[in-house]
Structure 1
Amino acid sequence: MSEFDTERWRPAPFLPEADAKDGSLVFVVATLCFLACLTLLAVLAADRAARGWTGHLTNEATVIVRPKTNETPDGAAARAAETLAGVPGVVEARALEKEKAEALIAPWLGDAADLEDLPIPRLVSVLLDPEGPATGQALDSALKAQGLDAIVDDHSVWMKDIERSADTARAIGGAVFTLIAVAAGAVVAFATRAGLAARREVVEVLHLSGAEDAFIAGLFQIRFARMAATAGLFGAGAAAIMGAMLRVAGGGDGLTPVLPIAWIDLLAVAPAPLAAAGVAAISARLTAQALIRDMM
């Protein structure tokens, strides 16, 4: 019998470095991280789109001018534009041509060429000062002072709708993100439970040897945190590639103007491996401590 070599001997780890089930667990956690990162990118893009639309609406107003019996529609629109141009907080007021007004109502009334007898109102586009925009009430008062029959649309209704939609998108995105994080924690908890059940005898021996619950739970915590970090790296990388493809496919505005993905948004997925590792570490430690107490 050969002599025992104490220098080359190393104790076997309590948890094996590799397991046949590791691949499946990494795939599941990576998929969850991928979905979470895509949700984050969608929320960022939706928020950017909402802020862009709100910014445009805040700096603009539209005035619908109805001509009186003693003036032409174009004359009434020109007079309204001239009146509004002198209101404090207005940068520019421009009367839209008849063709543009007809193009705006075409989706509802069809081809305006068949509606020559219809008194189509003229529109005046008003560009407001971003630092001190004129209010809808100020514009309306100026028009009435000149005896103009006009309706001011300061887009406040549209802005409220957009802001409400943006808040809804953020809430849904946050809920989905939280649900995915909980699902990832549940997956790691299940894997921890299975790992402890398979090594019940070893846990008992460690306890008899004086090992504390925190030490044993820490072994599972470190193992699953590393595994989740690797899975998070794969998931975040795949989401970043998907986001880059959507950005390239959509040009300067992203895939569509509705979801304008920016290159800087891709940096938002960088913390995903650390977040996945944190969720896995907490879930594994809590599960391991609870099961070890039950075993003992």
Structure 2
Amino acid sequence: MTDALPKPPSGGNGRLLPPDAGRDRPLFVVAAILVFLACIAALGARGAWLQAQSWTTDLETSLTIQVRPVEGRDADADAVRAAELAAAIEGVEQATARGRDHALALLTPWLGEGNLPDDLPLPLLVDVRTRSGSVIDTATLQAQLDAEGMAARIDDHGRWANAVRRAAGTAQALGLGLLALLAGAAAAVIAFAARASLAARLDVIDALHLCGAEDRFIAGLFQRRFFMLGLKSGVAGAVFAGLVSILVSLGDAPADMAFFLPQWASDPFEFVLLAIAPLLAGITAAISARLAVASDLRGRW
């Protein structure tokens, strides 16, 4: 009796659930776009972290002394003297006095060039570079400046470093939140597509069920099919995201947009991220398809 039954076609389970280019192509495009956006969000969060580290390192290894002009005193001489006092403090690597031209250059982006009168008193700056990890005794330095009779104030950039950290944290939270939303959207799209594929093949599913196939076997067919589709779309999306991030990094991005653009740092993180993105896309698609199909099958029988 059993010898009279036809043998299953060669090619394994793929013949039981063959690909459908008409349905798979739009799903492939949508999944690739979602993977692309997820990679861009992850690279953007990474770029925010790297940018914040760079900026906070610059801020934490520098001080600024603001020397205000006082009637009866030479502001340029006070700035030079302030630089000498700062250079003598332990942990200071370099102290440079800046003149009026430097102060005017800092104001030019906001006030325009040539809009300030020549006799307008401007505070002069002293840039102080410190050794990494050094703790500068700013109280002693301030006392020395006061003893010299200067109208000087020290800014350790602490509030600016905190502002950069907050901005980086916000950018990272946005990137990770967007990543979670995209993962949920991808799972929902795959679940919908799996249910649609199941509905289009009910005759095959019914025949398998009559032959004794269990729900988990049928769900496994959809799981394998959608895993491969997610893997392929993940490769396409990850490659495109890598190309876009490289092009953005090579271009001149505005400083105020640095936190929100994907940055390519050429370190292992970027390669690992883009390498595991297709695998994560395939796993997400497989799990979503299996759960959706298993749920529908339980409701059918």
TM interval, short-chain normalised: 0.7 to 0.9
Given that residues 193 and 291 in structure 1 are in contact (C-alpha distance below 8 angstroms), is that contact kept between their aligned partners in structure 2? yes
Alignment-mate amino acid for residue 101 of structure 1: A
What is the aligned partner in structure 2 of residue 50 from structure 1?
52
Pick from 109, 126, 129 the counterpart of residue 127 of structure 1.
129
Counterparts of 1:8 and 1:117, CA distance in 2 = 96
Structure 2 match to 1:91: 93
2:103 alignment counterpart = 101
Find the aligned partners of 1:122 and 1:197 in 2 and give their Cα distance: 76
Could you tell which deviates more after superposition, 141-150 or 115-124? 141-150
Q: Does 1:151 align with 2:156?
A: no
User: How many residue pairs were aligned?
Assistant: 289
Provide, for residues 104-146 of structure 1, a one-character-per-residue CA deviation record: whole Å limited to 9, x for no partner. Answer: 2334454467422222221111111212131544443342343
Q: Compute the RMSD of aligned alpha carbons.
A: 2.5
Q: Distance in 2 between matches of 1:208 and 1:71?
A: 101
1:261 and 2:264 correspond: yes
Q: CA offsets per residue over residues 222-260 of structure 1, 9 Å max, x none? A: 10010110111111111122223333444xxxx455355
Letter in 2 for 1:221: Q
Structure 2 CA distance for partners of 1:229 and 1:88, relative to 1, 3 Å: same
Distance 1:191 1:77, change over 3 A: same
Q: What is the alpha-carbon distance in structure 1 between the residues aligned to residue 22 and residue 280 of structure 2?
A: 25
Candidates 281, 290, 294, aligned match of 1:289? 294
Partner in structure 2 of residue 214 of structure 1: 216
Are the aligned partners of 1:203 and 1:216 in contact in 2 as well (CA < 8 Å)?
A: yes
Structure 1 runs not aligned, ≥5 long: none
- 9 and 42 in structure 1: CA distance in 2 versus 1, 3 angstrom threshold: closer
For residues 255-274 of structure 1, what are the alpha-carbon distances to aligned partners after superposition, in whole Å with 9 as ceiling and x for unaligned? 45535532336513221110
Q: Aligned-pair distance for 1:192? A: 0.8
Counterpart Cα distance in 1 of 2:123 and 2:251: 40
The residue type paired with residue 17 of structure 2 is L
The 1-side partners of 2:6 and 2:111 are apart by: 93
Contact map agreement 2:69 2:122 (CA 8 A) in 1: no
2:186 match: 184
Contact 2:195/2:296 (CA < 8 Å) preserved in 1?
A: yes
SS of 1:55's equivalent in the other structure is helix
In 1: Cα distance, 2:196 partner to 2:8 partner:
32
Equivalent residues of 1:73, 1:122 under 8 A apart: yes
Q: Give me the TM-score of the superposition, normalised by structure 2.
A: 0.86
| CA distance in structure 2 between the aligned counterparts of 1:99 and 1:45, rounded to whole angstroms | 34
Q: Identity of paired residues, percent?
A: 39
Q: Is there any run of 5+ residues in structure 2 with no aligned partner, and where?
A: none
Structure 1 counterpart of 2:117, from 115, 118, 124: 115
Per the normalisation by structure 1, the TM-score is 0.88
Partners of 1:80 and 1:143 within 8 A in 2: yes
Q: SS at 1:271's partner residue?
A: helix
Partner of 2:74: 72
Aligned counterpart, 1:246:
248
How big is the shift at 1:87? Answer: 1.6
- Which residue of structure 1 lines up, in the alignment, with residue 83 of structure 2? 81
Change (3 A) 1:7 1:185: closer
